[in-house]
């Protein structure tokens, strides 16, 4: 039976070639007068995109200051720099030009600037809830995180490498400009990481114990099939516009709540486990998810067997021959084979790291603390379960 739900996805999407040229118009439409232009380390700079955006803002007479240097797994220290800069220049609008890390960092800065009497890290430690957030616009240069339409952001605290997530509708961007051509220059590895992240955002909402609706399942399954098909195309032809467009739109749809309507809220244990992995070792989020997922799936599939069977048959094209358990296991293997096909790891060792037993214990402890003791829908995981999954992923 479908559960009650609220669906809220207010972000305006401007999709297609050359759409970034209208960024100044949209900033003005949403009331922006003093803009913090936020971006990453080199890609958007080297491509000339940042220079073009600055020129567009100048021509439109929009005051702007810039803050670059956002890294994967965005840092709290950069957020604090942005807050100081924003307060100094009386910023009233954030423009994030980049991928999920840049957007997440902009969201944190926007929260902090809107509530100057509070420490923004309190939100990520879940000791309070946000009551205000400055407006945010996005020019996306990657596809994967879905942050351009989501209510989530994740930040890593430099002091202790703890990676935390905060969810709230106030931070949903006012607009997101999605030009698939801006993703042409992405390294193959980052493209593949993004494709994994899209799949995982969808799977996290798929492997649940209740409330699953046929229409929601159909949307989720179609999205996953589309991502798998087009990810393989991009391995061979990274500048295929149609494939880039499919992946980019799938990224937004995978994390704006659509694929979770009517269910119990989703699992998200794989994400929680990966956050500690990337927080400690700085690995790319999508690659970390791929490295963890198979071990998580084999640990929990018996507790959520109908869903694992369904995804095996409807998404991974596993023949419906044998027991439900055999079909489910073939489905898990098929997902891992897809990861290998797009050059993603299927174990922690595949990330080029080898956590010690102590580090595994530390990650599990931090993960359990971060999720309030347990996390999961397919199977509720506690600290001891998390240790076992990390250990399995470290042995593959």
Question: In angstroms, rounded to a whole number, what is the distance separating the alpha carbons of residues 368 and 296?
Answer: 15
Give the pLDDT confidence of 321-351 residue by residue, as tens digits. Answer: 999 999 999 999 999 999 999 999 999 999 9
Contact in structure between 343 and 192 (CB atoms under 8 Å): yes
Residue 309: domain span: 191-395
Give the pLDDT confidence of 308-322 residue by residue, as tens digits. Answer: 999 999 999 999 999
173 shares its domain with 201: no
Residue 5 lies in a domain: no
198 shares its domain with 161: no
Give the pLDDT confidence of 48-101 residue by residue, as tens digits. Answer: 999 999 999 999 999 999 999 999 999 999 999 999 999 999 999 999 999 999
Mean pLDDT of the 202-217 span: 95
242 shares its domain with 146: no
352 shares its domain with 207: yes
Residue 2 lies in a domain: no
197 shares its domain with 172: no
Name the domain count of the chain.
2
271 shares its domain with 330: yes
What's residue 1's pLDDT? 77
178 shares its domain with 212: no
At CA 252, angle to CA 219 and CA 227, rounded to 5? 60
223 shares its domain with 291: yes
H/E element holding 34? strand 34-40
223 shares its domain with 290: yes
Contact in structure between 23 and 97 (CB atoms under 8 Å): no
Q: How far is CA 1 from the centre of its chain?
A: 29
Question: In angstroms, rounded to a whole number, what is the distance separating the alpha carbons of residues 248 and 239?
Answer: 13
Given 182, 209, 241, which residue is the final one in a domain?
Answer: 182
Both tokens assigned to 87: 């307060």
Domain CATH code at residue 301: 1.20.1090.10
Give the pLDDT confidence of 96-109 residue by residue, as tens digits. Answer: 999 999 999 999 99
| Number of other CB atoms surrounding residue 395 within 10 Å | 10
What's residue 43's pLDDT? 86
What's residue 396's pLDDT? 65
Asked if residue 42 has pLDDT above 90, the reply is no
Domain CATH code at residue 174: 3.40.50.1970
- Which DSSP string do the residues of 100-131 spell out, in sequence order? HHHHHHHHHHHHHHH-TTS-THHHHTTSS---
161 shares its domain with 211: no
| Number of other CB atoms surrounding residue 61 within 10 Å | 9
Residue carrying the six token digits 């958007």: 44
With bands split at pLDDT 50, 70 and 90, how would you rate the model's confidence at 306?
Answer: very high
What's residue 27's pLDDT? 98
Q: pTM for the whole thing?
A: 0.95
Q: Give the closest residue to 81 by CA, choosing from 98, 105, 50, 51.
A: 105
Both tokens assigned to 16: 């297609």
What's residue 203's pLDDT? 98
């Amino acid at each position: 039976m479908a559960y009650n739900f609220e669906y809220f996805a207010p972000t305006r999407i401007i999709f297609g070639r050359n759409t970034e040229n209208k960024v100044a118009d949209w900033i003005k439409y949403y009331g922006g007068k003093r803009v913090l232009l936020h971006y990453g380390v080199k890609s958007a700079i080297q491509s000339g995109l940042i220079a073009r955006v600055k020129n567009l803002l100048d021509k439109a007479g929009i005051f702007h200051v810039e803050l670059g240097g956002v890294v994967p797994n965005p840092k709290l220290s950069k957020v604090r720099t942005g807050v100081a800069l924003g307060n100094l220049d009386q910023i009233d609008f954030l423009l994030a030009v980049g991928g999920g890390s840049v957007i997440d960092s902009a969201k944190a800065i926007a929260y902090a600037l809107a509530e100057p009497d509070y420490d923004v890290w309190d939100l990520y430690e879940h000791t309070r809830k946000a009551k205000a957030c400055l407006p945010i616009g996005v020019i996306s240069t990657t596809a994967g995180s879905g942050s351009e339409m989501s209510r989530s952001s994740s930040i890593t605290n430099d002091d202790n490498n703890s990676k935390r997530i905060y969810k709230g509708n106030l931070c949903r961007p006012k607009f997101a400009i999605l030009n698939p051509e801006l993703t042409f220059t992405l390294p193959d590895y980052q493209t593949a990481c993004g494709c994994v992240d899209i799949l995982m955002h969808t799977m996290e909402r798929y492997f649940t114990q209740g409330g699953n609706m046929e229409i929601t399942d159909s949307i989720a399954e179609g999205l996953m099939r589309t991502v798998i098909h087009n990810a393989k195309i991009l391995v061979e032809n990274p500048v295929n516009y149609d494939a880039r467009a499919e992946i980019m739109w799938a990224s937004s749809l995978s994390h704006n709540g659509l694929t979770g309507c009517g269910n119990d809220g989703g699992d998200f244990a794989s994400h929680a486990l990966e956050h500690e992995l990337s927080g400690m070792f700085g690995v790319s989020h999508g690659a970390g998810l791929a490295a963890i997922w198979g071990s998580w799936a084999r640990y929990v599939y018996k507790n959520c067997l109908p869903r694992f069977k369904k995804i095996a048959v409807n998404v991974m094209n596993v023949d419906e021959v044998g027991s439900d358990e055999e079909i489910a296991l073939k489905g898990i293997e098929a997902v891992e084979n897809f990861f290998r096909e797009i050059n993603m790891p299927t174990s922690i060792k595949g990330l080029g790291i080898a956590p010690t037993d102590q580090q595994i214990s530390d990650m599990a402890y931090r993960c359990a603390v971060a999720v309030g003791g347990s996390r999961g829908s397919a199977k509720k995981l506690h600290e001891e379960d998390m240790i076992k999954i990390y250990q399995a992923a470290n042995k593959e």
